[in-house]
Structure 1
Amino acid sequence: MSIKKIVPYRQRIRLRNLRNAPKVRGKQKIFCIGRNKTGTTSLKKAFQQLGYIVGHQREAERLHHKHYFAGRFDKFVRYCRYAQVFQDVPFSWPETYKVMDQAFPGSKFILTVRDSPEQWYNSITRFHGKLWGKDGAVPTADDLKNATYIFKGAPYNVVKLHGTSDDDPYHRETLINHYKAYNQEIIEYFKDRPEDLLVLNLTEPDAYQKFIDFLGIESDYTAFPWENKT
């Protein structure tokens, strides 16, 4: 019988946290703050290949759904005590990186980007269409409200984040402007601290070398694993 059937979810989380806490205590935190569909899953895999303890994504998603819009960032700070590297929501959404920077001085931040905002928009709409749209179409507001990822209706956070309407939840101009403003805000925030921020396009030939140079480590790998390509 699977251990997942024997040990309740919350207990598994506590056991994992107890195992990880001493392993990451005192170690520098690394936050991957690029928007979703900029290579964050590939970045996560690269860190795991190098032996880093990466935060449990599903648990972060649960916390995000419950606390992000309420501004309860203290919940995310507590979550970060049990791993060294973090990606996806809530770390890929506005304001979280500022809280993490204050809570964990000396951390490093990686902003992953696509070749263009339009490429990012096309990727995220295709991906969400596969997940929640009818026959792969861009999801409607009703699709998002009825989707059961994490919790029923959690994908509707797309609308809440971007400020789009139910009539056009993936309004192209709104999402592209949001993506551009988010990236520029991060670059501006770290403009006097270049050693703390790496802006990284994973498709560039020297991207992996930039990655390990930024971390100050050596690696037997020469390229990123490619995950969730859309």
Structure 2
Amino acid sequence: MNNLLARHIAEARSALASRRNFNKVFGIGGHKTGTTTLADVFTLCGLKVGNQVEGELTSYSARRGDYSKLIAYVQNADAFQDSPFAESEVFIALDALFPNSRFILTVRDPEDWFRSQMRFTAKRFGLADPSRITKEHIQQDEYIFRGYCEEAHAYAFLMRTPDYKFHSSFDIGEDAIEWENLFDKDTYIRAYLTRNELIRRFFRGRPHQLLEIDMTTAETIENIAEFLGLPESLSKLPMPHANKT
């Protein structure tokens, strides 16, 4: 980190210490909507960002309604993104568990989002052609542990009867998962848009708690910095776009 950037972060941290009027900050946009960039912006705003892998490890129990590990994790930092915050309806629990928090819904053009999902997943499996991704690739993914990614992916996009309660193939059998729709564009975009609209409806009437932003088009961190109460002098840094796909 260069001296200029380090000085900026120190100034932002000092400004937040005197002006901060919120509890925690949660990035709740879906995967591939600029969540890695958002973590960098949180740092530029002087916030302590939760370790992403530690957060992912809380996902398994959070999907089953056990938030004890997630609560302990959130208590140790200021700002969070990626799993489990990018998943399902966990934002509802966070709103209740951490009152007066701020939520940022990162979005992007649905078609671009879907293409990014496919490219990212294909890259994970060393595939040049995203159309070659199979059910077996998802099921054999050993990130965190085998079954972790399968369950997260199926819950987000492929449950046969969505009912806002988690069921995995380990709970009720593989016939509950519509593997025939794996990376079907209409299915995935519908799930993506439905979740975004659920978030908007949940926070309707509370504009001070929810910011919606397209990270792919934002040129500076201004909107986020202002949302968090930073002075204008600290809000003009360029958006640090990261992990593009």
TM-score (norm 1): 0.82
- The aligned residue for residue 185 of structure 2 is 172
- The aligned residue for residue 50 of structure 1 is 45
- The aligned residue for residue 80 of structure 1 is 74
How far residue 206 of structure 1 moved from its aligned partner, in angstroms, is 5.8
SS in 1 for 2:178: coil
Residues 33 and 88 in structure 1, CA contact (< 8 A), matched pair in contact too: yes
SS in 2 for 1:145: helix
How far residue 55 of structure 1 moved from its aligned partner, in angstroms, is 0.8
- The aligned residue for residue 128 of structure 1 is 121
Question: What CA distance in whole angstroms lies between the structure 2 residues aligned with 1:171 and 1:75?
Answer: 34
1:90-111 residue CA offsets vs partner (Å, 9 max, x unmatched): 1011211111111111100000
Residues 133 and 140 in structure 1, CA contact (< 8 A), matched pair in contact too: no
Inter-CA distance 220–200: structure 2 relative to 1 (3 Å threshold): closer
Question: What CA distance in whole angstroms lies between the structure 2 residues aligned with 1:74 and 1:124?
Answer: 30
Residues 53 and 85 in structure 1, CA contact (< 8 A), matched pair in contact too: yes
- The aligned residue for residue 20 of structure 1 is none
Equivalent position amino acid for 1:217 in 2: L
Equivalent position amino acid for 1:121 in 2: F
Residues 156 and 191 in structure 2, CA contact (< 8 A), matched pair in contact too: no
Residues 132 and 144 in structure 1, CA contact (< 8 A), matched pair in contact too: no
How far residue 170 of structure 1 moved from its aligned partner, in angstroms, is 1.7
Write the mapping of 1:1-230 to structure 2, written as runs, cut at 5 A: 28-64=23-59, 66-114=60-108, 116-132=109-125, 134-138=127-131, 139-156=133-150, 157-162=152-157, 163=159, 165-205=178-218, 208-218=221-231, 219=234, 221-230=236-245
Q: Which one is further off, 198-207 or 88-97? A: 198-207
Inter-CA distance 206–39: structure 2 relative to 1 (3 Å threshold): same
SS in 2 for 1:151: coil
How many residues are treated as equivalent by the alignment? 204
Runs (5+) with no aligned partner, structure 2: 1-16, 160-176
Residues 45 and 230 in structure 2, CA contact (< 8 A), matched pair in contact too: no
Runs (5+) with no aligned partner, structure 1: 1-22
Residues 37 and 242 in structure 2, CA contact (< 8 A), matched pair in contact too: yes
How far residue 132 of structure 1 moved from its aligned partner, in angstroms, is 2.6
CA RMSD of aligned residues (A): 2.1
Residues 222 and 235 in structure 2, CA contact (< 8 A), matched pair in contact too: no
Equivalent position amino acid for 1:178 in 2: A
SS in 2 for 1:176: helix
Equivalent position amino acid for 1:63 in 2: T
SS in 2 for 1:167: helix
Residues 111 and 197 in structure 1, CA contact (< 8 A), matched pair in contact too: yes
How far residue 146 of structure 1 moved from its aligned partner, in angstroms, is 1.0
SS in 2 for 1:82: coil
Question: What CA distance in whole angstroms lies between the structure 2 residues aligned with 1:27 and 1:179?
Answer: 28
Question: What CA distance in whole angstroms lies between the structure 2 residues aligned with 1:160 and 1:110?
Answer: 22
Residues 33 and 111 in structure 1, CA contact (< 8 A), matched pair in contact too: yes
Inter-CA distance 189–178: structure 2 relative to 1 (3 Å threshold): same
Q: Which one is further off, 157-166 or 119-128? A: 157-166
